[in-house]
A and B are shown apart, each in its own frame.
Chain A
């Protein structure tokens, strides 16, 4: 018998899968049949022959199963081996091919990596900030409790609960398991004689339970600690515990000095635990600022007189089955009863004029805010577009490459390479490019994320939680894999035809359909780039408009910092004022310093939430007129000169404090409201009403023309600047212990005197720390950070998009010039001038660009709408912006076609006609 043992063929027949079963069955059946035949030939009856054969064979189905299982195992293993070998072979081939065209490889990898990197970075931010649940147990059932209100002239804002409101809601509600109140503040913590300004969380004990706090050591602040007169206790935050106490569990039970007096440490909160308030602390950008260092109980007094003072953020945990909407209705009905329950603090007029109401919403919504979510989605959309453009470019590159290799593929196909093998060949090559780009992209993404965190807007919540996560790496690689498959499949599926061999060499040029695909890609790129450019242009116009707003102060050369006086040492307003007076005098003596002042609320940073009611002397409000609730920062003499705020009339001086004249300054906006049509100077006012013991009035000595205290995009604010010491017969908040200093210098960089400032403060009182040293220019810039952040990112994204589109259009036009060489040669031979030929090529580029621009304009008109709430004084369909970006793209298309056009004009007709 002549046959060649061919394991390979055997294997291949087995590779075809289900044949294994038939194969084994046939083999065994043949055995049984032969035995039967032999038995019959020995003279047995067919029945006996069959029975004898079966007896000798044993259990047929068992042997068949065992044999089949062996074969199937064999097949699986062979497949693995084959696949591994094929992959290694194709990878080696692909690597060689890629190395032969380094320009293609580098451009494809870098383009794709940029797109993947940008997408990964923004996605990581979005995922952490928006999509991931808040870091509290059962976060979905947490709600925030605030009072939305509209202060006339300043627009909607959110107020906290009042103490009376908190007790009412906590006692009477039917929808919450528990309700807590808290504020974020600063305090001084003294460890081993060294004072440090720390972030203070003042909380009702219920806050800890609601947020699911766990003590790292010691115990939580409990109900018994949270009543008036209880022994003063505190918990440390994890970070400060590690930093200042080296994580020593022995800190529990120690009594430490704070600005609020000595407190006993009863425990430390677990790592990463903090308040849910978005950027509760003024120094945003300082990521550590996210974490509370010291927790103390609020010790609110349920029997205290109700005051219309709203300073406590509320957080509650919904009962099982209760929704945020139900809690909203529940607490709104209680809010409606405030005027009836506390007539001294609330009037129906107040509630109506300020549209004061209850706002219960999921804690997550409160922390994030609609604008933040929108901002991040817009940015993700932008980088997604960049990724699409990058992919279009790389796809185009692969198409060109595939066309160039059409003959090679056709030859391989004719030589018997299967369709699958050809696809695999393309796939391996594009996967290599994509995976390298993916790895590079993840690296770019990480770098980009770091940069983003450094410039992120001050009100971006949860920044401290943002970090590179495995999901980002996974996303980057997943994008790369998808891109790789797409790049491979299109050219691969198109290329597999043996027709190419039969065509003449000229026939190997691209088909019209292919040309259309490539032009389509370029048109799409142009359209996408236009949308991005339009968005970036709108943000730039908003930024320009914001910058054009005059803030009403002069930030140049101004240094600002905060100090924290220990409350135990500076108990009265006078003691604190004496400190400030002395410190200001010492600072003013420093070289280069022109003026010094201090305030409890820095414009454009600290003003924007909270207000106090003001009353005017001798003219009570009409029943239908509600007292204005305005910003009430307190300032030391020198403040206005230091911040460069012009004052009509005069600014208060130290002798006003000495003489107790109660000199105050108001803004024009407030003056016009309190005394319309009159000169405000000389008028009296206070913030305590005219009840017994509150008969004194402050005297307006100056008027500030316009101060955008709450933000450049807000109307000039209504502000009264109270002094740091009160005059008899009036009410003012306690001693000014944590003010922000403003130091006007003649220096270009005012931070150069920081060392001298520190020394001056330490010399005066070594227990007073200073913090948040920055320049007023930075404060102003930060107040625009949301707009500038979006503008910058959209700007970078659209610049990349523009660049990639230019590369794309250049590639296509160059390619077309190459394709039309013969035709161009004929035209030149027939007398077409150089400029005519060049014009033809540029025209072709412009046609593509115009098509893209037309589509892009439609997209921009539809798409920029979502930017509306992020814009300032510019319409989302601003014609100037749209026109400008369209013109920019036209210029870009002309520019990109310049080199190919020149090449076309230089075509030598003789050479071109001689053919390839």
Chain B
């Protein structure tokens, strides 16, 4: 089964993939696919509006270059702002996960009368 992406997480994933070095859009798509074992249901085309939006915000810079197999491709790289944004989003995300996990655990532990025998 493929997971739908949560709102706003695509930007974070792109920033993360670019933190390893300049990449073109296809490279980012491939890296995401490989690292998640193709678990995310992302239309590859949706990367591009996200990339260009982040470029406009100054998180990314772009430059036409030549790919490994000699094809002209646009390479994106993180700017300093982009790195800062990635750190910010990562910590927000982690805090979010922790908070959600706490909630989920709490609801398991404190279900006093709903299912008495289910421990």
Residues of B close to A62: CB separation below 8 A? 45
Neighbouring A residues of B74 by C-beta, 8 Å: 23, 26-27, 30
Q: In the complex, what distance in Å separates the CA atom of A887 from the CA atom of B74?
A: 78
CA distance A23 to B46 in the complex (A): 17
Contacts of A67 in B (CB 8 A): 48-49, 51-52
Interfacial chain B residues near A66, Cβ < 8 Å: 48-49
A895 within 8 A of B: no
A-B contact count (CB 8 A): 90
Measured between beta carbons, the chain B residues less than 8 angstroms from A57 are 43-45
* Pairwise interchain contact B61-A31, C-beta atoms closer than 8 A: no
Known: A6-B63, A56-B43, A58-B43. A71 touches B52 (CB 8 A): yes
Interfacial chain A residues near B43, Cβ < 8 Å: 56-59, 63
Contacts of B30 in A (CB 8 A): 38
User: Distance in Å from the Cβ of A174 to the closest Cβ of chain B?
Assistant: 74
Measured between C-beta atoms, what is the minimum distance from A12 to chain B in Å? 13
| Complexed CA–CA distance, A63 and B44 (Å) | 9
CB distance from B45 to the nearest CB of A (A): 3
B53 contact set on A, CB distance < 8 A: 70
Contacts of B77 in A (CB 8 A): 5
B62: interface (CB < 8 Å)? yes
Q: How many residues of B contact A (CB 8 A)?
A: 31
**In angstroms, how far is the closest chain B Cβ from the Cβ of A456?**
61
A355 to B53, CA, bound (A): 86
When C-beta atoms are compared, the residue in chain B nearest to A38 turns out to be B30
Q: Per-position contact with A for B6-26: 1 when CB-CB < 8 Å, else 0? A: 000000000000000010111
Most chain A CB inside 10 Å of its own CB: which residue of B24, B67, B74: B74
Interface bin, chain A:
20 to 34
Picked from B44, B65, B72, the residue with its CB within 8 Å of the CB of A56 is B44
> Would B48 and A30 count as touching, CB distance under 8 A?
no
In the assembled complex, B105 has its CB within 8 A of some CB on chain A = no
B29-65 CB mask vs A (1 if < 8 Å, else 0) is 1100000000000011110110111011010011101
**Which residues A635-676 have CB closer than 8 A to chain B?**
none
Interface centre among B48, B72, B77, B79 (most CB of A within 10 A): B48
Could you tell me if A5 and B79 are in contact, using CB atoms closer than 8 angstroms? yes
Which residue from A7, A23, A64 sits with its C-beta under 8 Å from B61?
A7
A92 adjacent to chain B (CB < 8 Å):
no
Q: Are A34 and B44 in contact (CB under 8 A)?
A: no
Contact indicator B62/A10 (Cβ below 8 Å): yes
A30–B65 touching, CB < 8 Å: no
- With A1-B75, A30-B74, A34-B67 in contact, is A10–B25 under 8 Å at CB? no
Residue in A6, A26, A34 whose beta carbon sits within 8 Å of that of B26 in the complex: A34
Measured between beta carbons, the chain B residues less than 8 angstroms from A74 are 52, 55-56
Check if A884 is an interface residue, CB within 8 A of chain B: no
> Is there contact, CB below 8 Å, between A1 and B29?
no
User: Is A733 in contact with chain B by the CB < 8 A criterion?
Assistant: no
Q: Which residues of B contact A56 (CB under 8 A)?
A: 29, 43-44
Q: Determine whether A453 belongs to the interface, using a CB cutoff of 8 Å to chain B.
A: no
Chain B residue at minimum C-beta to C-beta distance from A9: B63
Q: Is the CB of A28 within 8 A of B22?
A: no
| Complex Cα–Cα for A121 and B53 (A) | 54
Closest Cβ of chain A: how far from B67's Cβ, in Å?
7
Instruction: Please name all residues of chain B whose beta carbon is closer than 8 Å to the beta carbon of A168 when the two chains form the complex.
Output: none
Complex contact B63–A58 (CB within 8 A):
no
Task: Evaluate contact between A34 and B52: CB separation under 8 angstroms.
Answer: no
B29 touches A31 (CB 8 A): yes
Chain B residues whose C-beta falls within 8 Å of the C-beta of A26 in the assembled complex: 72, 74
Per a CB cutoff under 8 Å, which of B25, B52, B69 touches A31?
Answer: B25
Q: Within the assembled complex, what's the spacing in Å between the Cα atoms of A58 and B43?
A: 5
Neighbouring A residues of B52 by C-beta, 8 Å: 24, 67, 70-71, 74
Q: Is the CB of B49 within 8 A of A31?
A: no
- Closest chain B CB from A61 CB (angstroms): 10
Chain A residues in 8 Å Cβ range of B71: 30, 33-34
The smallest C-beta distance from B62 to any residue of chain A, in angstroms, reads 6
Closest CB pairs A-B (n = 10): A58-B43, A63-B45, A5-B61, A58-B45, A66-B49, A70-B52, A34-B26, A67-B48, A31-B26, A74-B56
**14 pairs from A and B in contact (CB 8 Å cutoff):** A1-B75, A6-B63, A27-B73, A30-B26, A30-B67, A31-B25, A31-B26, A31-B44, A33-B71, A35-B44, A66-B49, A67-B51, A71-B56, A73-B56
